[in-house]
Amino acid sequence: MTDLPPREDLPWYVAPLPRWLEDFGLRMAWAIVTINLIGTAFGFWYYGFHPFPFSDPLITWQFAVEPPAMWAFVPDSPVATLFIALSLGLWKLGRNAEWVNALAFFGCIKLGAWTPYVLAAFFSGFIGVGWPMYAFLFGSHLAMVAEAFLVHRYSEFPVGAVFVAVLWYGLNDLVDYFVPLVGTPHHTALPAQEGLAMGFSHPSPVHEIAAAGAVTLTLLATFLALSTRVKKLELGTGR
């Protein structure tokens, strides 16, 4: 696939990137796929899957504390970078999968914005990670938000695909903040939390602040995805 999909005349709030940046991102799709797969691997390591160094336990940090039955809901950002890698890769291979596109869009909007939000909200608690890691986490997650706004070029955001994304990220919000099912809520560990036998403590107001950001971003991603769908239909380019 060599030709880029056309850029439709969409409102700025669903297509905020300049055309040159969208085109550059789509032309560099394989490089972006590679970077995101590396980010996915790093993210799983960050949450505690440590095949190296060999001196570490294989499972440590948050994975070691969370119930294994809920591990799928723990590494939110690595899963989001995996979704965008799959979305771009399938598009480049001519095997566009709309449900993957929707999951990628939601994941990059939600986790790409939530992480800088909590890094700023709990700034003093994150100082211990060091400035290089803090800056890396902040900047790399903002880049995920930018990646999300490439997806509209090759996706029509059909309602069924958006429903899949709402279901997955809505379920994430539910078990991360409200009904953990097993153990305690499963969101990314934040400052002021303490490890328990099966999960973490969730002191107020840290828990509520994190929850407010997550739910708001899920709603925002839903609005943006459905708005993109509606605008494409109005332009006569959607099916």
Convert the pLDDT of each residue in 65-112 to its tens digit. Answer: 999 999 999 999 999 999 999 999 999 999 999 999 999 999 999 999
Coil, strand or helix: which one is 20?
helix
Distance CA 221, CA 217 (A): 6
For 141-164, write each residue's pLDDT tens digit.
999 999 999 999 999 999 999 999
Percent of the chain's residues with pLDDT above 70: 98
Q: Would you kindly state where each structural domain of the chain is located, as residue ranges? A: 19-235
| Predicted local confidence at residue 239, as pLDDT | 67
Q: Is the pLDDT of residue 24 over 50?
A: yes
What is the end-to-end Cα distance of the chain in Å, rounded? 21
Q: Phi then psi for 85, rounded to 5 degrees?
A: -65, -45
* pTM, 2 dp: 0.95
A 10 A CB-CB count for 4 gives 13
Distance CA 179, CA 187 (A): 12
A 10 A CB-CB count for 32 gives 21
